[in-house]
Structures are given as structure tokens and as C-alpha cells.
Structure 1
Amino acid sequence: MRASDIMTTSIITASPDMSVRQAAGTMVFAGISGMPVVDESGKLLGMITEGDLMHRAEIGTGVKQRAWWLELVASTSELATQYVKEHARKVRDVMTTDVTTITESCPVGDIAELLDRRHIKRVPVMRDGKVVGVVSRANLIRALVTMAPELPATAENGDHAIREDVLAAMAGQPWAMARENVIVENGTVHLWGPVVGADEGNAIRVTAENVAGVKDVVTHFGRPPSDSSLG
């Protein structure tokens, strides 16, 4: 799955000459937290987001008076930039210009990693220098719903096959369980064995839950398999 499969194509944009108040209203009424800023030809100039509008003089959210020593170490340029962010009336003066972009062929996994690494909530999708879509965290969540349906139990997945699949799924992991500690009965996986940490236990359980044909997973950590279960 790629950007073209999940991106929003009905894009709401801002112009650089739009007022900050109008930009804020557009985001509020459209239910979005950011939008691309483009010129008359459609060229991407920047992004205006909630983060750019957090510190504003009008609503008393500007940066508080700096400690005297911070005033000394902060450059004149930094202080001037902060003042503009707090008081400017046009989008062009408060927008973020260092914008990360992607193409339509960008894999979904790469997009998720990019959003996480850059600490951003959305990224414009470009084609021939123009914005053709936006991928947001919400788009990724919708993709998760599409890509991860419930795994149904199927008749061909007998208990023996399910057990082998569970063992194969854990193979090579440092928290993998020994073969004798994985028992399957009527599609329910029973996990036995020594006491394990909560994180390792969760990893073992999730591994089993993701195997096709598994109806349920029951953990018995800290207990040896009972004789009846071994039958």
C-alpha cells in the first residue's frame, strides 16, 4: 500500500496572503489541524498548522517573558522570529517553510516512519511540483482498518497445523517458547512455561493471536503443562 492508496485528494489549502484569523477559522470548520500553503500557480510554499498558531499575542499565549540569561544567549534573529510568529497577521509570516514532502509511490510504512521521526502529523504528496494529496495520521489509521481484518478460524487449519504456525512465528525471537510449551486444542492456543516478564509475555501472546486459525490464546506462565493437556 502506497501514498496514492490512502491520501486525501480533496485538499484544503491556504494562500500566503490569507489572514491568520481566516486560516485558523478554516482549520476549525474543516476539522483539520493543518493545510498546505500554495501560490496562485499551485506551487507549495509551506504548511500552516495548529503548532504555528499556538503562541499568539491576541489570546495571551505568547512566549512568557524570558529569564534575563535566556535573553542574553538568544540571538536577535531568534527573538525577532518569535515576535513575528506571535504578532504577524498573514499566513506567509507564520507558516512553516521547511516542509517535508513525499511522492504518490511512497510506501505506507515509510510514511509512518517519516511522521514519527519528524514529529509531524501530515505530509503533502507531490506530483510534478504540485500538491496532489495529503497523508495524515488519520489516513494511516484508516489504512490499518483496511489492512488488518480479523483472522478467521478456517476448517483447514487443524490444531497440529496451528501449533506449527505458532512455533514458526516465534522462531528466532529471543522470547520464543519451547515446542513442548505450546499446546493447541480446538483452535485455542495454550501457552505454558516458566514465569516471563510482562513485555515478553505480551509478545508471545500477540504472536499466537496473529496466526490464522487461532480462536483464542490462554497463558499459563509459571505452570508446567498438565498431563491432560499433553494428551
Structure 2
Amino acid sequence: MGIKSFQGARKQQANVVDSTPLKVSDYMTTDLITFTPNQTIESVMQKLITHRISGGPVVNENNELIGVISEGDCIKQISESRYYNMPMQDKTIENHITMNVDTIDGNMNIFDAANKFLSAKRRRFPIVENGKLVGQISQKDVLKAAMTLKGQNWK
């Protein structure tokens, strides 16, 4: 006598496409506060305070990403201006932005983006397509994505 299985015949599962949006582009912010290299440090600081942000992308006239400016960059300038006794009025951010910025592909899986946040220790990543800034993903955006997926299988 053969061994009998208590499992019934298994149906062949159809290839179900998971429609759960897991791409960075589904969660990135596209309505960005951006800066230009010829803005004064004071105007940037005012924008950071007004919009309650800690930094943002710096773009040229063609909306191409050239760097980022942060509160830390501004604080460094405040410190240097005091040290050298040189007021900041009319000083632009051009020489104070962080260049060679890491970006994230909008098609990247949100979980891979979370890993990139952990390894790079960044608060935000710009998303660039065809050389143009199209959005930005922050750690908070990743948290929001996780909350929308709550109770589902995370793959």
C-alpha cells in the first residue's frame, strides 16, 4: 500500500502580478522646495525656517541637480563669518553647497531605498531622470510607504 496524502490536489497558481506599489517614484515628493547657487545664504536660511525643512536640492536654470544645501552648511557659514569677522549679507550659497550628491533611481524598490538610507546615513535622496530633478525621497516617505503596506506581505 502506498502512503496516502492528506493534502488534496494542488491547483497550479496563476502568475499573479503584485499590484502593491513598491517603487520610490510612488512615494517620492515631487513638489520640491529648491535652491539656486546664486541665492544668498540668508535667503536660504529663511526658506529652511519658513518651510521647516533641514535642507534641499540646488538646481541650475535647467532644473538639473548640481548639489544640496543643508542647515549644517548654513551653520558652518555662520561660524566662519564670525571667525573671520565677515558679515554674511549678500554671500551666495554657490561655494557652500555639497556637490556630487548620491541619488536614488525612481524605479528602485522602497525596501532597497530603506537599505540605502541605512548605509549612507542620509535624510533624503534626490531622484533625477534624464539629468533633471524630478523628486526627492526622505526617510519619512519610506516610513509612510511601510505604513501603507502594513498587514501585507513585504517582498
Normalising by the smaller structure, the TM-score range is: 0.7 to 0.9
Which residue number corresponds to residue 53 of structure 2? 32
Larger Rg: 1
Unaligned runs of 5+ in 1: 66-82, 152-209, 211-231
Matching of residue 127 in structure 1 with residue 129 in structure 2: yes
Q: CA deviation at 1:122?
A: 0.3
Aligned with 1:27: secondary structure? Answer: helix
Deviations 1:159-183 (A, max 9, x none): xxxxxxxxxxxxxxxxxxxxxxxxx
Find the partner of 1:2 among 23, 30, 50: 23
Which residue does 1:48 correspond to in 2? 69
Is there any run of 5+ residues in structure 2 with no aligned partner, and where? 1-21
- Structure 1 residue 52: Cα displacement: 1.4
Matched residues in 1 for 2:40 and 2:117: separation? 27
Matched residue, 2:94: 92
Looking at structure 2, the residues matched to 4 and 98 of structure 1 have their Cα atoms a distance apart, in angstroms, of 21
Instruction: Report the equivalent of 1:111.
Output: 113
Q: CA RMSD in A?
A: 2.5
Give, in whole Å, the separation in 2 of the partners of 1:130 and 1:34: 19
TM-score (normalizing by structure 2): 0.74
Map of 1:156 onto structure 2: none
The structure in which a higher percent of residues are helix is 1
SS class of match (1:106): coil
Instruction: Report percent identity of matched pairs.
Output: 30
Moved more, 25-34 or 119-128: 25-34
* C-alpha distance in 2 between matches for 1:123 and 1:115: 8
Aligned-pair CA distance for 1:14: 0.2
| Larger mean Cα displacement after TM superposition, 46-55 or 5-14 | 46-55
3-state secondary structure, aligned to 1:105: coil
Query: SS state of the match for residue 133, structure 2?
Result: strand
Give the SS at the match of 1:101.
coil
Q: Distance in 2 between matches of 1:26 and 1:127?
A: 26
1:123-170 CA-to-partner distances (Å, cap 9, x unmatched) read: 001111111110001111111211114x8xxxxxxxxxxxxxxxxxxx
Which of 1 and 2 has higher RCO (CA within 8 Å, sep 6+)? 2
Shift of 1:54: 2.6
- CA drift of 1:4 comes to 0.7
Instruction: Classify 1:119/1:12 alpha carbon distance in 2 versus 1 (closer, same or farther; 3 Å).
Output: same
